[in-house]
């Protein structure tokens, strides 16, 4: 075991996603099987006792890679020297609530966390925001961390990506490994656009292998509204699949995308594909040398353009709302 330990801070550690996430981080699935992990768990005071219980269970797993667990309700302490920040803690959407309803409540959480990251995180810090509305929460945190390169703040759309991959695999009777170059564009919300016009199955464009009616009337709404469907069925928002997607996102960011494929992540726009610069929007991305890069040069037809624009318009609206609240 020669690699330097990586400090991982998880906010909302005592929540549902936290419980599904921490054991996988500690077992080496976030970074890799030979990187020791130091865990920092951030909770609100009411969550500390439950976090302590989870820490007892982590101890009881005797994970060879897990070097330490610190629990705190102080953001500065939690992010001091952190290499990976998983910003999960937020108020989950209940039945009938739209993500926009959460902006004000959650905005207050991500400002102090951004400030704490700015103040003390490691130089190579990478931040993934999971707590909803994830894209705009990431924007808030980033706005309060002016000394951290903007591209280190990302928002999770990997869950949507994974959901889309499975829907296509099931439809075409193939495995998820056969579905490549899928893209989630825009916001992690019901306006997101899962794009099959560049996705490939068996080396051929996926959109050409399915009926247009399935694509427009079944596939897109199923993926875009999957979060609400899970809340409806479980009475609670997705947790294990969300934790899995967070693991995938960071693992890909650190270890890279395979040759001939890409993934989806919410990253700060550089103006590509007409997405206003600075918005944290989902794009087709590759990862190499620890950096995400937007896949360039894709042709966007009218069908896709309309849907990308609608989701980006929602992101602009969310940004304008948090601007008015003085959060960015
Ligand atoms: P949960 O209610 O089970 O847990 C949230 C935890 O966060 C609680 O333990 C709470 O005490 C804690 N918390 C609240 N404010 C905090 C703060 N300021 N600092 C530290 N901890 C704080 O919720 P959950 O099911 O784990 O979901 C967490 C978030 O993830 C929600 O916003 C949910 O909507 C979102 N989510 C996002 C995706 C995605 O794909 N981006 C998927 C699923 C869920
Ligand atoms: C999800 O996509 O499952 C989460 O973002 C929960 C939600 O509110 O939809």
For the chain, domains (ranges, CATH) are 6-155 (3.40.50.720), 158-318 (3.90.110.10)
Ligand 2 site, residue 238, Cβ cutoff 6 A = yes
Mind listing the pLDDT tens digit for each residue in 178-219? 999 999 999 999 999 999 999 999 999 999 999 999 999 999
pLDDT at residue number 92 = 65
Mind listing the pLDDT tens digit for each residue in 210-262? 999 999 999 999 999 999 999 999 999 999 999 999 999 999 999 999 999 99
pLDDT at residue number 98 = 63
* CB-based contact 223:160 (threshold 8 Å): yes
| Residue 160 Cα: closest atom of ligand 1 | 40
Q: So what's the ipTM on this one?
A: 0.99
Ligand 2 site, residue 93, Cβ cutoff 6 A = yes
**C-alpha 17 to ligand 2 mean position (Å):** 11
Eight-class DSSP state of 218: I
* CB-based contact 86:21 (threshold 8 Å): yes
74 vs 88: CA distance, rounded Å: 15
| Residue 132 Cα: closest atom of ligand 2 | 5
In b/e form, how buried is each residue of 11-45, taking b as 16+ CB within 10 angstroms?
bbbbbbbbbbbbbebbbbbbbeeebbbbbbbbbee
Q: Which residues pair with 195 in a beta bridge?
A: 183
Bridging pattern class, strands 84-87 and 6-11: parallel
Question: pTM of the entire structure?
Answer: 0.97
Residues 6+ apart with CB under 8 A from 286: 256, 257, 262, 263, 292, 293, 295
The pLDDT of residue 94 is above 70: no
* CB-based contact 107:34 (threshold 8 Å): no
pLDDT at residue number 77 = 98
Q: Which residues are catalytic?
A: 188
151 vs 158: CA distance, rounded Å: 17
């Amino acid at each position: 075991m020669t690699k330097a330990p990586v400090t991982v801070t998880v906010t909302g550690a005592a929540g549902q996603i936290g419980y599904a996430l921490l054991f996988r981080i500690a077992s080496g699935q976030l970074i890799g099987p030979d990187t020791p992990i130091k865990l920092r768990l951030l909770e609100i005071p009411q969550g500390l006792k439950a976090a302590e219980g989870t820490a007892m269970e982590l101890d009881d797993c005797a994970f060879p890679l897990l070097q330490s667990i610190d629990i705190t309700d102080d953001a500065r302490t939690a992010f001091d020297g952190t290499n990976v920040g998983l910003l999960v803690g937020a108020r989950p959407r209940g039945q009938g609530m739209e993500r926009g309803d959460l902006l004000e409540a959650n905005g207050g959480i991500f400002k102090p966390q951004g400030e704490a990251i700015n103040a003390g995180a490691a130089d190579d810090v990478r931040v993934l925001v999971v707590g909803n509305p994830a894209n705009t929460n990431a924007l808030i945190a980033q706005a309060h961390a002016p000394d951290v390169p903007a591209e280190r703040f990302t928002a999770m759309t990997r869950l949507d990506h994974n959901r889309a991959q499975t829907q296509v695999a099931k439809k075409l009777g193939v495995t998820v490994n056969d579905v490549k170059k899928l893209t989630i564009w825009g916001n992690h919300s019901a306006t997101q656009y899962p794009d099959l016009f560049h996705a490939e199955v068996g080396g051929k464009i996926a959109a050409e292998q399915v009926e247009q009616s399935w694509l427009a009337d079944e596939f897109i709404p199923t993926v875009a509204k999957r979060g609400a469907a899970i809340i409806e069925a479980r009475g609670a928002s997705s947790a294990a699949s969300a934790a899995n997607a967070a693991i995938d996102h960071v693992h890909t960011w650190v270890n890279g995308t395979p040759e001939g494929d890409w993934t989806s992540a919410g990253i700060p726009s550089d103006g590509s594909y007409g997405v206003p610069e600075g918005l944290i929007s989902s794009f087709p991305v590759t990862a190499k040398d620890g950096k995400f890069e937007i896949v360039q040069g894709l042709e966007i037809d009218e069908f896709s353009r309309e849907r990308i624009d609608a989701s980006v318009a929602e992101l602009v609206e969310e940004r304008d709302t948090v601007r008015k609240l003085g959060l960015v």
